[in-house]
Structure 1
Amino acid sequence: MSTPLAPTPLAPTRPARISLALRDSSTMLRRNLLHARRYPSLTLNLLLTPVVLLLLFVYIFGDAMSAGIGDGGADRSAYIAYLVPGLLLMTIGSTTIGTAVSVSNDMTEGIIARFRTMAIHRPSVLIGHVIGSVLQSVLSVLLVGAVAVAIGFRSTDATALEWAAALGLLVLFTLALTWIAVGMGLVSPNAEAASNNAMPLIFLPFISSAFVPVDAMPGWFQPIAEYQPFTPAIETLRGLLLGTGIGHNGWLAVAWCLALTALGYFWS
């Protein structure tokens, strides 16, 4: 007599798969937030860079850098208003370097090999990194923004809708840079290489309109500074918070964010 075959397990339904994916992603998110809480040195070091630059450019270089910005010569308060949007986006670039390092650590320290032996939703590992990085970046932006308000930054003309649009742009820009950082972390052989590969996320703001207007740069360099990802986002943020002209920078900033998000997602 033939032995009866064991019943074939039924494949989970689509709602069940979605539920499992959400459960595993939330578990990975909690894991990454616990790592950030237990080892805050990397986040603090990356966060201190924009804060130090903000204080340095305002109180050390402010009088010289503010010449020509504002009405009638050097005006430190006008330069604070000009500087803060660029520093907020630079904060995002700094924070996402930690994401590249964390992903690289996961890939090189053996935890991924263990995850592959478990019945978990495979993309949840990266999704946990991405959502955790977005949350940390938003908190970092709020902290830098609080420091900016403490030293004199004001946005009295922005409406509630413009504030909401500015926050949406910051979150979208964070999502774009985070996916790029995840890709960099995946291809890096170690944490040091991941940190070095992600350094352009900090250096690009220095060749944007974050610190000086594009018009003040050499003519041959202006197209590079104007059309790289940071400048359109910075000018859009200035327009939303300070009432300056946005022009084509709004749709260009959104296009850069969507393109970088798609590139980082499919790369990862």
Structure 2
Amino acid sequence: MTPTTGTGSARADHPYVQAPTTAPLPESSVRGWWAHSRPLTGRQVLVFVRDYPTLLQSLIFPALSMVMFKVVLGDAIGSATGQNSAYRTVPLVVLVAAMFGSIASATRLNRERSTGLLARLFVLPINRAADLTSRVASEMIRIFGTTIVLLLAGHLIGFRFTQGVGPAIGLLLVAMAYGAAFACMTLALAVNAKPGAPLVPYLGLFSSLLMFFNSGFSPIEAYPTWLQPIVANQPMTPAIDAMRALAVGGPLTESITKVAIWTVLIISLSIYPALRGYRKAARDR
């Protein structure tokens, strides 16, 4: 067979003519950001799923904690509030699981910085925000799956949805919004910290303070008077109150407003330091 000469008569299916390749998307474009973030998100999800100890800890430990809270504190909280303690315990544990899972992800990011992975990603023709986006997106996927499992476990201790499908979806969205904000904060800290920094003790201490001083662990009225305004307005309390209201009914507007304010504030304050940390990590390597 004689090769076809001349570009005008060339056919794409000719054995001697290569099909034209698709031009790469511009790194700074929205399409490029979206296209580059998707495979990196898949990578993060696979890393989490294949890390069996972390996977089991993210699912089993929170479920056992939920049962423990119900057994140990259930009667006390129920007597104080006149409501099944499951409606406080389940939202509390869902948010705690989101926080401690994000701490594990932040630790992995800090470790990957020392391996030079961030530097290699920085020199590739991909959007500069793609890796950060992928990590936050994978956290939201993880939180969604973990929340579903914990809601099923909560059903065993009396947690029920009494307001319909829409509020149930709203409960999931509240958990994911809180988790996304906390993930952005921890990732920003992790990428700016030196490799091997003791992130777990410090972030664990901060998360524990949030966990023990909120309306899920104990009614706000049970705290000392001087502490009540802090407990009522820290990030976890409005999220717990909103999730409880979406499940069983009650005032919702104030809690949802506070959740939205905290989410926007934390994410806004975290994005720039996180992107700057990526740039610094790549150049330091």
For the aligned pair, the TM-score class normalised by the smaller chain equals 0.7 to 0.9
Deviations 1:220-249 (A, max 9, x none): 111110111111111111111111223522
Choose the corresponding residue for 2:131, options 107, 112, 125.
125
Tell me the distance in 1 between the aligned counterparts of 2:78 and 2:127.
Answer: 52
Task: Give the corresponding residue for 1:3.
Answer: none
Q: Is the 8 A contact 1:208 1:230 kept in 2?
A: yes
Q: Give the deviation of 1:82 after TM superposition.
A: 2.8
Q: What is the 5 A alignment of 1:1-268?
A: 17-70=29-82, 78-156=84-162, 158-191=163-196, 193-199=198-204, 200-246=206-252, 248-268=254-274
Q: Is the 8 A contact 1:93 1:202 kept in 2?
A: no
Tell me the distance in 1 between the aligned counterparts of 2:194 and 2:31.
Answer: 34
Tell me the distance in 1 between the aligned counterparts of 2:57 and 2:77.
Answer: 26
Q: Is the 8 A contact 1:138 1:171 kept in 2?
A: yes
Tell me the distance in 1 between the aligned counterparts of 2:232 and 2:36.
Answer: 41
Partner SS for 1:24: helix
- In the TM superposition, structure 1's runs of 4+ consecutive aligned residues that sit over 6 Å from their partners are 11-16
Tell me the distance in 2 between the aligned counterparts of 1:253 and 1:175.
Answer: 12
- Give me the TM-score of the superposition, normalised by structure 1: 0.85
Q: Is the 8 A contact 2:36 2:126 kept in 1?
A: yes
Percent identical = 22
- Unaligned 5+ runs, structure 1: 1-10, 72-77
Q: What is the letter of the counterpart of residue 58 of structure 1? A: K
Q: Is the 8 A contact 1:83 1:210 kept in 2?
A: yes
- Give me the TM-score of the superposition, normalised by structure 2: 0.80
Q: What is the letter of the counterpart of residue 87 of structure 1? A: V
**Bigger CA radius of gyration:** 2
Q: Give the deviation of 1:100 after TM superposition.
A: 0.9
Alignment RMSD: 2.3
Of the structure 1 ranges 13-22 and 187-196, higher mean CA displacement relative to structure 2 is found in 13-22
Q: Is the 8 A contact 1:183 1:264 kept in 2?
A: yes
Q: Is the 8 A contact 2:25 2:31 kept in 1?
A: no
Q: Is the 8 A contact 2:239 2:259 kept in 1?
A: yes
